């Protein structure tokens, strides 16, 4: 303040509000003299809410009021700083196969201003395969806004693998609450697909007791997709087997499964029997299929038998024989007597027993033979009785040869008599 007149003056300074002070309230100014008054904001203003506050400081010439005036005092109280809050806190994880689609396709984050002042925000990622629904905006105190992060079509061309990015949420006003969320994308190869060849059924047939033809059939399993698969093969009946029950196939890999008729089928009656082998893609069931297994069991003709006593041949020989002419009168000089027995239409299992008895009825020799896996349709037996050089056998008189054949269905037995002459 300055007295620009020619006489002394008394002055005063006044503020009516309680939140501002003056450094001096009154005084005297001689002509051309000056003084300074400082106006300050006091601690009362610290309790003010956000807003605008106004007052005046009055300067009065108490001597003659010449030059009385005032100055405005304007106080702006701002709220607490704006703070950016982003929820939820977890990353955006998505996955799918090459070419899409990806699940989940998007994730929504909520942006909120938890402070007392407005803020400007921005959101951005750096990859070309993820988008944000809005890149920037503003938030008043306590206001919120949703941002959606989504996988875009550029991801459809990505190779199988793991891809990572981040979306950054930035408080551009004061950086309170700046943060980011991870974006994790897993791209799998195309799904594995099980292919089974050939497409036709396994058809086998044979007579009761077996064997059955063909005994096996082989199928080739291949993974024609782009991802590994686990597979299984299942047969529910007890008369066919699979060489493998399951395994893993990498893309484009192959394996074989052989289906075979097992020994349980040997006991089947004549008729048709059907089962299936199921090939299962346990990973995603792409290519699940089955193949029929058809078995035809043909009735076996009843066994037939020829028998004779002969004196030539070298037997016993079970595998090949010709029907001989019987000879029932033998000389002590003959090397031996053979009991020739041929059985046709035999099953896989049977028993044969023979015995030689001397003229006095006493047992000379006996043997029983059992077969459990015979593979021919006939069998021949040549039990041998030594004559020349064998004292017991050279006993002259009427000998007897007993035989018994039994296959569980058919039984043959008989006694053939022959004479060793003096």
Predicted pLDDT at 203: 98
User: Is residue 2 in some structural domain?
Assistant: no
Q: Which of 298, 316, 349 is the last residue of a domain?
A: 298
Predicted pLDDT at 276: 98
Task: Please give the backbone phi and psi of residue 264, each rounded to the nearest 5 degrees, phi first.
Answer: -65, -25
- Lowest model confidence (mean pLDDT) among 79-83, 164-168, 273-277: 79-83
* 32 and 129 belong to one structural domain: no
CB 328 within 8 Å of CB 417:
yes
Q: How far is CA 209 from CA 124, 267, 345, 363, 381, in A?
A: 78, 6, 11, 35, 21
Q: Which two tokens stand for residue 290?
A: 């089955």
pLDDT tens-digit readout, 303-341: 676 777 666 544 444 445 666 667 678 777 777 777 878
Predicted pLDDT at 316: 43
Closest CA to 121 of 48, 171, 65: 171
pTM (predicted TM-score) = 0.48
CB 339 within 8 Å of CB 381:
yes
In sequence order, which residues have a C-beta less than 8 Å from that of residue 412 and are 6 or more positions away?
A: 303, 305, 343, 403, 404, 405
Distance CA 86, CA 100 (A): 29
* Number of structural domains found in the chain: 4
Q: Which two tokens stand for residue 166?
A: 């981040």
Q: Which two tokens stand for residue 347?
A: 């099953």
User: Is residue 406 in some structural domain?
Assistant: yes
Predicted pLDDT at 322: 64
Predicted pLDDT at 305: 67
In sequence order, which residues have a C-beta less than 8 Å from that of residue 349 and are 6 or more positions away?
A: 209, 370, 371, 372, 373, 374, 407, 408
Q: What is the C-alpha R_g of the chain?
A: 56
- Lowest model confidence (mean pLDDT) among 54-68, 86-100, 225-239, 402-416: 402-416
* 334 and 290 belong to one structural domain: no
Predicted pLDDT at 102: 96
Structural domain harbouring 413: 304-420
* 293 and 308 belong to one structural domain: no
Q: How confident is the model at residue 56 (pLDDT cuts 50, 70, 90)?
A: very high
Q: 103, exposed or middle or buried, with CB in 10 Å at 0-12, 13-18, 19+?
A: exposed
How far is CA 4 from its chain centroid? 99
User: Is residue 4 in some structural domain?
Assistant: no
* 416 and 308 belong to one structural domain: yes
- Dihedral class, residue 90 (left if φ above 0, else alpha if ψ from -120 to 50, else beta): beta
CB 343 within 8 Å of CB 405:
yes
Mean pLDDT over 205-231 rounds to 94
Distance CA 311, CA 313 (A): 7
CB 344 within 8 Å of CB 360:
no
Distance CA 265, CA 293 (A): 13
Q: Which of 249, 265, 298 is the last residue of a domain?
A: 298
* 177 and 111 belong to one structural domain: yes
pLDDT tens-digit readout, 364-411: 989 999 988 887 778 888 787 778 766 666 688 898 989 899 988 888
Predicted pLDDT at 311: 61
* 182 and 92 belong to one structural domain: yes
Closest CA to 189 of 144, 224, 142, 151: 224
* 36 and 50 belong to one structural domain: yes
* 212 and 251 belong to one structural domain: yes
* 225 and 260 belong to one structural domain: yes
* 330 and 355 belong to one structural domain: yes
Q: Which residue has the tokens 């008989």?
A: 414
State the DSSP code for 303: P
- Here the CATH number for the domain that contains residue 61 is 2.60.40
In sequence order, which residues have a C-beta less than 8 Å from that of residue 322 and are 6 or more positions away?
A: none
Task: Please give the backbone phi and psi of residue 44, each rounded to the nearest 5 degrees, phi first.
Answer: -60, -35
User: Is residue 1 in some structural domain?
Assistant: no
CB 395 within 8 Å of CB 362:
no
The three-state secondary structure class of 127 is: coil
Average per-residue pLDDT for the chain: 90
- Here the CATH number for the domain that contains residue 106 is 2.60.40.10
H helices of 231-282, in order, are: none
pLDDT tens-digit readout, 400-419: 989 899 988 888 888 888 88
229: which strand partners? 249
* 141 and 52 belong to one structural domain: no
Predicted pLDDT at 17: 93
Mean pLDDT over 130-154 rounds to 97
pLDDT tens-digit readout, 187-197: 988 889 999 99
Q: Which of 298, 321, 349 is the last residue of a domain?
A: 298
* 69 and 146 belong to one structural domain: no
Q: Which residue has the tokens 């990859």?
A: 127
pLDDT tens-digit readout, 72-128: 999 998 878 999 999 999 999 999 988 889 999 999 999 999 998 999 999 999 999
Predicted pLDDT at 9: 96
Distance CA 257, CA 260 (A): 10
């Amino acid at each position: 303040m300055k007295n620009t007149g020619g006489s002394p003056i008394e002055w005063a300074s006044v503020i009516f509000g309680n939140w501002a002070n003056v450094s001096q309230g009154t005084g005297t100014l001689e002509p051309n003299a000056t003084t300074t008054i400082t106006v300050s904001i006091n601690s009362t203003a610290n309790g003010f809410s956000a807003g605008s506050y106004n007052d005046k400081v009055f300067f009065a010439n108490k001597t003659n009021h010449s030059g009385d005036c005032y100055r405005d005092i304007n106080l702006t109280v701002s709220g607490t700083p704006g703070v950016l809050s982003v929820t939820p806190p977890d990353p955006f994880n998505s996955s799918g196969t090459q070419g899409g689609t990806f699940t989940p396709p998007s994730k929504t984050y909520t942006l909120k201003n938890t402070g007392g002042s407005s803020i400007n925000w921005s959101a951005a990622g750096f990859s070309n395969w993820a988008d944000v629904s809005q890149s920037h905006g503003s938030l008043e105190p306590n206001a919120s806004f949703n941002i959606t992060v989504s996988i875009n079509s550029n991801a459809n061309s990505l190779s199988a693998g793991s891809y990572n990015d981040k979306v950054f949420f930035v408080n551009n006003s004061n950086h309170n609450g700046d943060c980011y969320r991870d974006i994790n994308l897993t791209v799998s190869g195309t799904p594995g697909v099980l292919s089974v060849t050939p497409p036709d059924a396994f058809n086998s047939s044979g007579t009761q007791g077996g064997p059955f033809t063909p005994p096996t059939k082989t199928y080739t399993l291949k993974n024609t997709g782009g991802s590994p698969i686990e597979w299984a093969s299942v047969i529910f009946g007890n008369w066919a087997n699979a060489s493998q029950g399951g395994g893993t196939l990498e893309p484009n890999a192959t394996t074989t499964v052989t289906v075979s008729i097992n020994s349980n089928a040997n006991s089947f009656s004549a008729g048709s029997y059907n089962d299936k082998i199921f090939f299962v893609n346990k990973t995603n069931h792409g290519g699940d299929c089955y193949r029929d297994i058809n078995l035809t069991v043909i009735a076996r003709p009843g066994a037939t038998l020829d028998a004779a006593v002969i004196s030539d041949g070298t037997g016993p020989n079970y595998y090949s024989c010709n029907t001989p002419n019987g000879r029932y009168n033998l000389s002590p000089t003959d090397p031996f007597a053979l009991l020739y027995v041929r059985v046709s239409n035999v099953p896989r299992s049977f028993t044969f027993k023979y015995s030689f008895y001397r003229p006095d009825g006493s047992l000379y020799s006996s043997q029983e033979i059992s077969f459990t896996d015979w593979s021919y349709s006939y069998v021949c037996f040549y039990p041998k009785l030594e004559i020349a050089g064998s004292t017991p056998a050279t006993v002259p008189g009427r000998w007897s040869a007993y035989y018994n054949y039994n296959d569980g269905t058919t039984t043959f037995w008989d006694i053939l008599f022959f004479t060793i002459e003096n």
